Amino acid sequence: MKFSVRKGDLSKEPCDLLVLNAFEGFKTFGGATASVDKAMGGLLLTLAQEESFRAKAETSFMLYTHGMIPAKRILLVGLGKEKDFSEESVRSAAALSLQKARSIGAKKVVSVVHGAGHGGLHPKQTAKAIIEGMMLGVYEFLRHKSSKISKKNPDEIILLTHNGQITTQVLNGIKLGEIFANATIIARDLVNEPAQTLRPIDLVNRTKAMVKATEGKIQMRIYNKTQLEKMGAGGLLGIAQGSDHEPFLVHMIYKPSKAKKKYAFVGKAITFDSGGLSLKPAEFMENMKEDMAGAASVIGAMSALPLLAPSIEVHGIYGVCENMVSGRSIRPGDVVVAMNKKTIEVTNTDAEGRVTLADTLSYAVKQKPDMIIDLATLTGACMVALGDEIIGMFSNDDKVAQNILEAAKLAGESCWRLPLVPQYRKTLESKIADLNNVSGLKRKGGAITAALFLEEFVAQTPWAHLDIAGPAFAERPLNTYTPYGASGFGVRTLLELVRNAS
């Protein structure tokens, strides 16, 4: 697909599909939709009302123009209630419009710049949201299909505006939207890949390929099992010991000249989680290829940094392994020593992610960043609390937390701050080690106690933990641009955070 912007008159532009919009409950049209309706003698409004089209979010109405204007068809997409209009409304409408365009085999699509200048939205942000919605809304993972045939995307998509003064802003938004969407797609592809073809070494190699494509703008360090032993990465090694595939620690570095700040993004990277000897029930294992989604989000975000060129040094870190069952598997009651020398009694081997993160967070601290953010499909408890569409966020720093909430809102990735409850820390005490990897509260407050466990490995560094267990893998479509499967949640929040801090 080729995206472009041009000044022009929507009612005079030849195309296979012309995309317009309306707010819910409209009685008359406004803006560009009104001008096209006028060119059609009011027929668009008449037909929309006759068909009881209400312009609710994620709804549309299509009609032939029969030569009344150069466009062959018009698609009217609903923006929902005007008072609720946001970038998320734009993403949703844009995704739906491209899906409809594919369904009719449209080759050339012309679209209004949804809501440009409306509700305080800047044309650049609006155009960015349009491209994100379109690209993510038609995403498919076809690598393992015997037939790769899918509905074809249009060859050309033009954002047309009557206001020539905003074309440069819209063009910049298009470029930004492509960067954000492509980074998200990298993460989606990694998470959707079956564990048999995404073993720890495969994730390392896929990361290598991404780094190579940046032509030296990102550097990479890889630590193998022998090196991890010398580094004292007992948590990662302990969880990995039941697998036939060796673990690795991967460190990506984006370091611009005269960087103002230094961030570390840390991702959980369990390429398959059987639960270990604390074996998961079969139905809970079906999508456990997703347990490396935190690392996938970090990889996706890192891939975009050379294009965004923020004046921030960013370190992307993950420790990758499988959590499998064998005669070598770590046993409930075993004790491991993390990289920061703290000892951990592993009483539940299915709470493995926090044990590997103990090492990767400790390693991140050694890079002396101004802030650490970790992303992990960590707890079912977070899903119980917030459902499957919301990230649970914990932080030891109010400013960091607020910045993440603002970035997540811009990204359209729902995020809710949960408390780090100090009095729950004592429930992680072990009789034989410094910490137990699970709380004595058992099922109560599991997301909180998991975050408190992680806090033990960030020293005094400002830090936030994003529990993405719910939205990382959509077991049902979450919206028009997030279909079944990997969502890439977290990528765009990290990128908004970096972009707005530059």
Catalytic residues: 280, 354
Tokens of 181: 């969407």
Burial 136-165 (b: 16+ CB within 10 A, else e): bbbbebeeeeeeeeeeebbeebbbbbeeee
Task: Return d(Cα 88, Cα 92) in angstroms, integer.
Answer: 6
Which contacts qualify for 328-332: CB closer than 8 Å, 24 or more apart? Answer: 328/241, 328/242, 329/241, 329/242, 329/276, 329/277, 330/238, 330/239, 330/241, 330/242, 330/276, 330/277, 331/277, 332/277, 332/278
Longest alpha-carbon distance in the chain: 81
- In the 8-state DSSP scheme, what is residue 95? H
User: Which residue from 341, 320, 322, 339 is spatially nearest to 330, judged by alpha carbons?
Assistant: 322
Burial (Cβ within 10 Å: 0-12, 13-18, ≥19) of residue 170:
buried
Q: Is 240 left (phi over 0), alpha (psi -120 to 50) or beta?
A: alpha
Burial 280-291 (b: 16+ CB within 10 A, else e): eeeeeeebbbbb
The DSSP bridge pattern shows strands 473-474 and 60-64 to be: unpaired
- In the 8-state DSSP scheme, what is residue 71? E
Tokens of 202: 């495969």
Tokens of 152: 């074809």
User: Which residue from 86, 32, 87, 94 is spatially nearest to 58, judged by alpha carbons?
Assistant: 94
Q: How far is CA 95 from each of CA 58, 60, 114, 306, 482, rounded to the nearest angstrom?
A: 9, 11, 12, 27, 9
Burial 68-81 (b: 16+ CB within 10 A, else e): ebbbbbbbbbbbbe
Beta carbons within 10 angstroms of residue 2's beta carbon: 9
User: Which residue from 178, 455, 446, 432 is spatially nearest to 303, judged by alpha carbons?
Assistant: 178
